[in-house]
Amino acid sequence: MFTELLPIVRNRKVTIIIKHDADDTLTVNVVPIQLRADENPALCTPLSDVGVTGTAAELDRDFPQALTGYVAQHLTLAQALNQSAAEMEAAKKSAADAAKQASKDASEKWKKTKSGGPQAPAKPTPAAPPAPPSLFDAAPTESTPGAPGLFNTSQLETASATSTAADSEPESSEDEEDSDTEGDEEEELACAV
């Protein structure tokens, strides 16, 4: 019996309860003791709710076999709980590290933007459409000599010279018709431009 209990008592204290019944039978139970307040209560589950009952000869023969199964289940449960606790602790540490790194990254990014350091490139804004042309945007053009235009100074000089000459000399009617024709042509060309 104690050989079968040895694996469980290496890590935990146990209480063995033996009760004598009126018909000369014994009721035996094994109850592990809780080690810490935060420990899983499943590790303190007794061998049986009411215990194992039998005569002394029956318990000598069958009780060690019942203890072997109970101890194996208890050790398997303890290992599973320890593994789960280790995995949860690792996950907790990993999550804390990830949160700390994310906080550090966000803090560094904020410092860079606050100090005017390299920032993420902004989305390119579409170019504004060109403004429609205005009457005041066009550059003034100079008239070329001989070409008709509203502000052609050579035509004005020619016209004033002709009118001065016409005033001083009387011309024939043919010359007047020619000058009238030229004037009409100049007016038409000026209107066309």
What residue type is 11 in one-letter code? Answer: N
- Containing structural domain, residue 52: 2-102
Q: Looking at the structure, do residues 87 and 26 belong to the same domain, yes or no?
A: yes
pLDDT at residue 28, as a whole number: 92
pLDDT at residue 138, as a whole number: 60
Return all residues near 3 (Cβ < 8 A) that are at least 6 apart.
64
Report the number of distinct structural domains present in the chain: 2
Kindly list the averaged pLDDT for each block of 10 residues, start to end, along the chain of length 193: 85 90 91 85 83 89 89 87 86 87 83 66 71 68 54 53 52 50 57 54
What Cα–Cα distance (Å) separates residue 177 from each residue in 70, 159, 161, 182, 189?
Answer: 139, 15, 18, 9, 18
Q: Looking at the structure, do residues 6 and 84 belong to the same domain, yes or no?
A: yes
Let me know if residue 147 belongs to a domain: no
Q: Looking at the structure, do residues 97 and 23 belong to the same domain, yes or no?
A: yes
Let me know if residue 66 belongs to a domain: yes
Let me know if residue 22 belongs to a domain: yes
Let me know if residue 122 belongs to a domain: no
Q: Looking at the structure, do residues 16 and 91 belong to the same domain, yes or no?
A: yes
What residue type is 104 in one-letter code? Answer: K
Let me know if residue 44 belongs to a domain: yes
Q: Looking at the structure, do residues 22 and 89 belong to the same domain, yes or no?
A: yes
Cβ atoms 184, 140 nearer than 8 A: no
Q: Looking at the structure, do residues 18 and 83 belong to the same domain, yes or no?
A: yes
pLDDT at residue 159, as a whole number: 52
Let me know if residue 97 belongs to a domain: yes
Q: Which two tokens stand for residue 49?
A: 């709710």
